[in-house]
Amino acid sequence: MNNAQLNELKQRYVASGAASPAGQFAERAENALIWDADGNRIIDFAGGIGVLNIGHRHPKVVQAVKDQLDRVMHTCQTVMPYEGYVKVAEKLSQLTPVRGHGKVMLANSGAEALENAVKVARAATGRDNVICFTGGYHGRTFMTMAMNGKVAPYATDFGSMPGNVFRAPYPVPYHGVSEEDALRGLRMTLKTDANPHNTAAVVLEPVLGEGGFYAASPSFLKAVREICDEHGMLMIVDEVQSGFGRTGKLFAIEHSGVEPDIITMAKSMADGMPISAVVGTDKVMDASGGNSLGGTYTGSPVSCAATLAVLEVFEEEKILERSQALGDKLAERFAKWQQDFACVDNGRNLGAMAAFDVVSDKANHTPDADLAGALCKKAREKGLILLSCGLYGNTIRFLMPVTIEDEVLQEGLGIVEDCLKELTQA
């Protein structure tokens, strides 16, 4: 079927809240390229929203999935366990920088990992409150919608959210929130809203994802760790988007040297297969009772096989080094664009987790969400998938595969530059 025929079916049968606004349908993909149902070639700078750090259909992952399909597809690991689950748990325990010996539970999605992290924290502390941050994004389930620091479009139409979730400011100096402001705000939240004696955990992204690709400084993360220790609260770090090599480390928190109590991960963990994980200190992870964590499909054999293959690729292909090198190339191009275009500002990156802001006034950092939207739309028309994000909708984020070929990268960056020229000269 072609794009037009598939769009007609989409309009008729797919719920409008779940339907993509895109008019093209993926037919096949390889590394950083997608071909649609009409045969058009498209460069992918979105990577399934950070899911494809080692590219579409990496051969080693594809082969691991095929091999697993010849053995076992599903048993439900709580009914009949299998090697893949415990091997993934072993690897993540060894690689994840939590305090002490790590233990692991596997789930299906980032939101599900965050839900379970909160469950574990409440069981381990006997406390209810959770503190999150402005701009944070943690998922679309009810608990994670309550935890998100951004309302639209995730929670706009869905009524009351779960209670015992409180908010503190995330440090974004570019928008007037200094590290000192953020720490003062966190302490004020503990004083005025969330009694520390009733607070189970502080949950934060070391680099805001949906909130705009702003990285917290190592000193801020260390201060949050100290505040948690002072009050006996757990520190939960959400690495769903920033993890698995995006920032030049396996996890972004490693740039700070801070060891959280719990880390959540998903997205690029299995290169497109659905899986997520909660990794935490053993005493914390073992706090809830038997059969209290899990689900029918959690840690499926096929997704576990893909995860183990991804970890092998990271070692064999030096993905962390390539992530840092990609980030350097993006930073260099952003710097040029900031000189050449009045609308491009605040280029930033931590490894290959890179973004810039589209503004109408650099001096006042005035967001221009309309121009950012137009840039993404024009890029799509020219054969490039580009995503915006941020509290103000004016951040352009770059999530192309770390494995992208340099000629494809330069072609895609050239399209962005051409679009900026056309839009600013119009």
pLDDT (tens digit, 9 = 90+) per residue, 309-355? 999 999 999 999 999 999 999 999 999 999 999 999 999 999 999 99
Assign 3-class secondary structure to the chain: CCHHHHHHHHHHHCCCCCCCCCCCCEEEEEECEEEECCCCEEEECCHHHHCCCCCECCHHHHHHHHHHHCCCCCCCCCCCCCHHHHHHHHHHHHHCCCCCCEEEEEECCHHHHHHHHHHHHHHHHCCCEEEEECCCCCCCCHHHHHHCCCCCCCCCCCCCCCCCEEEECCCEHHHCECHHHHHHHHHHHHHHCCCHHHEEEEEECCECCCCCCCECCHHHHHHHHHHHHHHCCEEEEECCCCCCCCCCCCCHHHHCCCCCCEEEECHHHCCCCCCEEEEEEHHHHCCCCCCCCCCCCCCCHHHHHHHHHHHHHHHHCCHHHHHHHHHHHHHHHHHHHHHHCCCEEEEEEECCEEEEEEEEECCCCEECHHHHHHHHHHHHHCCEECEEECCCCCEEEECCCCCCCHHHHHHHHHHHHHHHHHHHHC
What's the mean pLDDT when you consider all of the chain? 97
**pLDDT at residue 295 greater than cutoff 70:** yes
**pLDDT at residue 151 greater than cutoff 60:** yes
Mean pLDDT of 140-154: 89
Quote the CA–CA distance of 194 and 164 in Å, as a whole number: 8
For residue 317, what pLDDT is reported?
A: 98
pLDDT (tens digit, 9 = 90+) per residue, 82-108? 999 999 999 999 999 999 999 999 999
- pTM tops 0.75: yes
Mean pLDDT of 18-33: 96
For residue 167, what pLDDT is reported?
A: 96
**pLDDT at residue 386 greater than cutoff 70:** yes
**pLDDT at residue 152 greater than cutoff 80:** no
**pLDDT at residue 203 greater than cutoff 90:** yes
pLDDT (tens digit, 9 = 90+) per residue, 37-49? 999 999 999 999 9
Q: Which of 8-12, 151-155, 311-315, 368-372 has the lowest mean pLDDT?
A: 151-155
**pLDDT at residue 172 greater than cutoff 90:** yes
Mean pLDDT of 129-135: 97
For residue 297, what pLDDT is reported?
A: 97
**pLDDT at residue 291 greater than cutoff 60:** yes
**pLDDT at residue 174 greater than cutoff 80:** yes
Domains and CATH numbers, the chain: 3-54+318-425 (3.90.1150.10), 62-316 (3.40.640.10)
For residue 356, what pLDDT is reported?
A: 98
pLDDT (tens digit, 9 = 90+) per residue, 210-261? 999 999 999 999 999 999 999 999 999 999 999 999 999 999 999 999 999 9
For residue 426, what pLDDT is reported?
A: 57
Quote the CA–CA distance of 424 and 426 in Å, as a whole number: 6
For residue 159, what pLDDT is reported?
A: 86
